[in-house]
Amino acid sequence: MIDAVSARLPAMLEDVTRIIECESPSDDHAAIARSAELVTQVLGARLAGAGLPAEPERLVIDGVTHLRWRLGGPTRVLLLGHHDTVWPHGSLATHPCAIRDGVLTGPGCFDMAIGLVQAVHACAVLAEREGADALAGVTILVTGDEEIGSLTSRALLEDEARDAAAVLVLEASGPGGALKTERKGTGMYTVTTHGRAAHAGLEPEAGINAGLELAHQLQAVAAFDGTGDGTTVVPTSGRIGSTSNTVPAQASFDIDVRARSGAELDRIDASIHALAPVLDGARVSISGGVNRRPLEHAQARDLFARATRLAAAAGIASLDECAVGGASDGNFTAALGVPTLDGLGGVGGGAHADSEHVEVAHVPHRTALLALLVRDILGDA
């Protein structure tokens, strides 16, 4: 298996370069549509070359384009990834895609262009060795809004995963190539404070300062941080008022919540929704809630054991597991009770950062491991 995959490495690097160079920031629907067409063209050609369906279903939900390749029959193994990135337009000018000294760089290379390429080439090599029918039961789902909470794709991926035997998530690996067997759950909130506008110079006493109320609420929210094992509650972006000479009538800030258990997420959710105003006459409103339930170890344990057993055949001497604070679409599928293994994508580091990179030497081994896992799971199913 590893020899067959290694022979494909030049093609894999060609494919990932083309995907990286098609910028796909999550908040630009037109860019996501262009990316979907490019991903279809690049990856579809590899599937077609192995006798598999080249054309995916293009699923446009609220303007966001997602892709689904069903390789035959009902879904038994779901290969899950996304083609949107956190990188804004113009990032290629400062972070060009390049391969130097065995390291691939470029915006979104690690998170997660290489994972998409590995998924398709793993399927292609299986089909070439064992026939296209060997992939019956495999579905590849590539969503377009994972980086901003999967608001349009959540129901789609949950429906696709619900009856599957396993979900294999092609997100970037953990440190040293570790597979991700635990992920924190997440909450996303906006706290808005409401006051009363007044002229800041003529009669500030006639106003109710929403910015000052926001300061009280920031302190209240900050007190929730660290109150549970691994719980983080972090105020992030914010907005106050509209002009510099007006007592602000409205202000708001966003909150990022991470927790290891569903019970802890629910506790923080209740605390945020119980926030009350401090200033006389001010009001506080809360929007948002729990976004992703945790990916708990029990949902990944058996799949990780299977991967460990197969690792040597993929040329991987040892395989580690890790728990991470970041969430993925694997959180959604694990919450359904579907066995889910995450972090099967590239080995490297620097996701979302200037240092984002992929170690090319690991690409064939990770691809071979994925192919072996798919074959093994389908054999049991």
Q: Among all residues, which ones are annotated catalytic?
A: 84, 146
C-beta separation of 174 from 366 below 8 A: no
**3-state SS track over 94-133:** HCCCEEECCEEECCCHHHHHHHHHHHHHHHHHHHHHHCHH
Cα–Cα distance, 365 to 346 (Å, whole number): 10
Residue 285 phi, psi (nearest 5): -125, 150
Burial (CB < 10 A; 0-12, 13-18, 19+), residue 254, is: middle
Cα–Cα distance, 178 to 276 (Å, whole number): 43
Q: What is the dihedral of CA 371, 376, 380, 381, to 10 degrees?
A: -10
- Listing DSSP states for 12-24 in one string gives HHHHHHHHHTS--
C-beta separation of 237 from 174 below 8 A: no
List strand residue ranges (DSSP E) for 160-208, in order. 166-169, 179-183, 185-194, 198-199
Sign of CA dihedral 229, 331, 335, 175: negative
CA 296 to chain centre: 16
Tokens of 164: 């599957």
Sign of CA dihedral 367, 368, 372, 375: positive
